[in-house]
Amino acid sequence: MAPGLLGPGPGGFAHFPDVRGRHKSRPDCIAAGFLTLACSRLVDVSVSGAFTEGGRTGVKNWLGVARIFGFCLLFQVFSSHAAEPGAQAQSVSLDSCPLESGEAIAPCNISYRLYGKLNSDRSNAVLVPSWHNGTSADQEKYNYLGPGAMVDTDKYFVIAVDAFGNGESSSPSNQGESPDRSFPEFTIRDMVHSQYRLLTEHLQLDRLHAVVGASMGGYQTYEWMMLYPGYVDRFVAIEASPWVSYYDYVQRRAIGAVLERSLDTEEELQFASDMVTALDAVTLWTPDYVNREFDDGDHAARFESMRRHQGLAKLLDRASQARANMNHDIRRGRGDFAEYLGGLGQLNVLAVVYEEDLRVNPGPNYELAAMMDFPVITIKGDCGHMGPNLECYQAQTELHVQAFLDNDRGGDPVGLSRHIMEHDGVEREYLVYRPPGTGGQALPLVLALHGYGTTASGLAAIYDLPAHARAHGYTLVIPQGSQFMGRFGDDPSSEPYFVTTWNDLAMNFTPAPSGELHCTEDRLKYPCPPECGSCNRCAWTSCYDDLGFLRQVLDQVEEEHSIDTGRVYIVGNSNGATMGMRLACSDPERFAAVTSLILQMPPGLECHPGQSLPMFHLAGEQDDTGGFDGTPTSSGWIFSSIERTQQVWAEGMGCRGEASSWRTAITDAQGLQCTAYTDCPGEQHEVVSCLDLAAGHEWRGQRDADIAANCVYPAQADRFPQQPPCSSYHYDGEPWGMDMVWQFLSRYRKQ
């Protein structure tokens, strides 16, 4: 996992030094040595828990004095300042560690390093297990932990632990005076049991904030989830797998066949070193990456520079961990696995995988995620298994991991994940929020479409949509429209504005076939999206195939998550409202109902679904951006009236009669004036239109005005680094906007 073939990497390979010189230490990781805390200060610091009784601190007797000096030695690093690079290796002997095989490791030595400071309530401890043949020191060396790193030691008290077989904790190479060929066979579960004993018996920690592991460290994370679910608040598995896929099994058989040879002669050792080096090179990266980054013309010299596993001791260590990896399967011995998972309760889990990982196949992560309902972040690129490295996609990985660990510190909501896909040769993205603890339940899906100038994160944040989804048990999907920086008006010196937009197949088609325009000659000029090339006078929305993109999003979400496909709904706001109407008109058979908020189609370009599809439409009487009565706004833009929008939709559905008054407790309480076509095909199908007398171009009753609509959660921060972060939601009063919408939508199931 670590960058730069100068130290061990995932799968036991050390990285190549990058010929472009990109593998450099973080400048903020160069700091002073490890601090030692005086025993006298420990009296005032209750971090070990030994000095606090009934809320008071003090020493009551000579036994208390002895305890202080004992804990001074044991916990001095707990109270040290934030992480120091080069933290000293420590070791504890557990006397004997029983193994799944029935054997035991005795003596059983566990090596570890401590970073950061344990907080007063002892709630910020994070365990970072080592990867295959990696060490606890490698985690810091390659930026997986440290100040501001993936696991931020300025925030967390980090225990970096060495797994059995890595040459630091008990291993074939260090169990006696010479390498021990008879060292007992251990499993990933055995590693986890020993780590639990380290934490509880030696460090006396009664809980962990998280376990964060990469590669084989992620295998350990998954076993932690199975063995000690109540001890850990969050689990992060990076480029790992809950069980070995057949593809992984085949490649590991090849490596195992080499490592299980006699290794008695220099020729055998040389052969094993050659084969392990070669097999690592063809599985840790993709062919494109290897050829591009490492082919300097002298193949033999380059191959020699890759060779790290030489000598009997290192090969025996690697073989011991390779056996543990081969047998890794969290389902093993757990009977009805679905039932077993159900007994674990609600767990907070994040998996990060790399699409072209040839070392650890990502597939099983998706299978487990579908059973347990947790997000899997998929990152594209040709670094393969080295994806989390500094020279590859560590920055992306770091954003997701930090947001997940910090979710109670203003990060992403737990259950929110970002997904990147390619559509029509363009990289697009969307957010998915799935309420934690819903397991494999088939939940309704709400497709939420943001407005002009708004981000997917912003739509979620300003209306607190994840909280509503959690309270009402539905999956929330928020795609991101196209985005660019553009200027309004004709002044080239004006400040560019962050623009996001949807191609609703209406705003760029003017005049309408009937000859109607949707802007006046003196309208405020909107910026033309760059993908459009040029725009006519009234055009302003994206020219991408957003219909195709949204279809692909829904296909992918329904494939990767458990969705009740009979209850798929659209909630569109502003430009997202017209995009939602266009999608519903084009694919009415896919949805159960639609909500369109604060905008209508241009005159002459209204659409209808051609079959019965209930719609709820909302407009603001004070709206001077989109209007509500079909007349030009002060900026010179013209949109259909709410009456015409409602009528066209109802006629397309086959509704009969006229619109009549429509009321609910919420519309009455908020003074909304609503009408509905109620004599429509389909059980209780209606087309509702409400006018909010107090609203402008805003969906009232839910909006936190202190949050910028173009803000970003950490999940989207790398895509939009200049946008403000989304802050915590606060709303004065009782939110009612989404309740009103959900009361309408949730009545319907696709017929």
Q: How many domains does the chain have?
A: 2
**Rounded-to-integer distance, Cα 226 and Cα 216, Å:** 16
Residue 113 lies in a domain: yes
Percent of the chain with pLDDT over 70: 87
Cβ proximity of 550 and 583 under 8 Å: yes
Residue 267 lies in a domain: no
Measured from the Cβ of residue 330, the count of other Cβ atoms closer than 10 Å reads 22
Copy the structure tokens of residue 536: 């006519």
The residue ranking higher by pLDDT, 85 or 360, is 360
Judged by average pLDDT, the poorest of 80-94, 377-391, 597-611, 676-690 is 80-94
Domain shared by 201 and 238, yes or no = yes
- pLDDT for res 490: 83
**Rounded-to-integer distance, Cα 414 and Cα 655, Å:** 42
- pLDDT for res 24: 30
**Tens digit of each residue's pLDDT (9 = 90 or more) over 315-338:** 999 999 999 999 999 999 999 999
Domain shared by 361 and 463, yes or no = no
Domain shared by 384 and 473, yes or no = no
Of the candidates 646, 603, 591, 637, which has an alpha carbon nearest to the alpha carbon of residue 449?
591
Residue 44 lies in a domain: no
Cβ proximity of 349 and 374 under 8 Å: yes
Does the pLDDT value for residue 208 go beyond 90?
yes
How would residue 86 be classed by pLDDT, with cut points 50, 70 and 90?
Answer: low
Copy the structure tokens of residue 590: 């896919």
**Rounded-to-integer distance, Cα 112 and Cα 93, Å:** 12
**Rounded-to-integer distance, Cα 209 and Cα 116, Å:** 14
The residue ranking higher by pLDDT, 436 or 48, is 436
- pLDDT for res 412: 63
Domain shared by 551 and 673, yes or no = yes
Residue 666 lies in a domain: yes
Domain shared by 492 and 362, yes or no = no
- pLDDT for res 9: 41
- Domain end call among 344, 377, 408: 408
Domain shared by 401 and 434, yes or no = no
Measured from the Cβ of residue 473, the count of other Cβ atoms closer than 10 Å reads 12
Does the pLDDT value for residue 671 go beyond 70?
yes
Of the candidates 273, 274, 271, which has an alpha carbon nearest to the alpha carbon of residue 314?
273
Domain shared by 215 and 352, yes or no = yes
Residue 319 lies in a domain: no
**Rounded-to-integer distance, Cα 334 and Cα 331, Å:** 6
- pLDDT for res 309: 66
Measured from the Cβ of residue 31, the count of other Cβ atoms closer than 10 Å reads 14
Does the pLDDT value for residue 720 go beyond 80?
yes
| CATH code where residue 720 lies | 3.40.50.1820
Residue 680 lies in a domain: yes
Domain shared by 361 and 432, yes or no = no
How would residue 71 be classed by pLDDT, with cut points 50, 70 and 90?
Answer: very low
For CA atoms 326, 327, 328, 332, give the dihedral sign: positive
- The values of phi and psi at residue 532, to 5°, are -80, -20
Of the candidates 548, 545, 551, 641, which has an alpha carbon nearest to the alpha carbon of residue 591?
551
Cβ proximity of 130 and 106 under 8 Å: no
Q: Among all chains, which residue has been given the structure tokens 């606060």?
A: 730
- pLDDT for res 414: 67
Radius of gyration of the chain (CA): 30
Domain shared by 198 and 106, yes or no = yes
- Domain end call among 408, 437, 459: 408
Domain shared by 453 and 383, yes or no = no
Eight-state DSSP code of residue 184: P
**Tens digit of each residue's pLDDT (9 = 90 or more) over 121-149:** 899 999 999 999 899 999 999 999 999 99
Measured from the Cβ of residue 722, the count of other Cβ atoms closer than 10 Å reads 9
Judged by average pLDDT, the poorest of 290-294, 336-340, 373-377, 451-455 is 373-377
Residue burial 298-327, b: 16+ Cβ < 10 Å; e: rest: eeeebeebbbbbeebbbbbbbbbbbbbbbb
Of the candidates 576, 378, 584, which has an alpha carbon nearest to the alpha carbon of residue 480?
576
Does the pLDDT value for residue 387 go beyond 60?
yes
Does the pLDDT value for residue 582 go beyond 80?
yes
Residue 175 lies in a domain: yes
Q: Among all chains, which residue has been given the structure tokens 């639609």?
A: 594
- Domain end call among 357, 376, 408: 408
Instruction: Give the range with max mean pLDDT: 150-154, 269-273, 493-497.
Output: 150-154
**Tens digit of each residue's pLDDT (9 = 90 or more) over 43-61:** 333 333 332 323 333 333 3
The residue ranking higher by pLDDT, 82 or 486, is 486
Domain shared by 434 and 401, yes or no = no
Residue 322 lies in a domain: no
Mean pLDDT of 421-441: 89
Domain shared by 402 and 439, yes or no = no
**Tens digit of each residue's pLDDT (9 = 90 or more) over 470-485:** 999 999 999 999 999 9
**Tens digit of each residue's pLDDT (9 = 90 or more) over 97-119:** 999 999 999 999 999 999 999 99
Range of the domain at 719: 428-745
**Rounded-to-integer distance, Cα 401 and Cα 393, Å:** 12
- pLDDT for res 12: 37
- pLDDT for res 7: 30
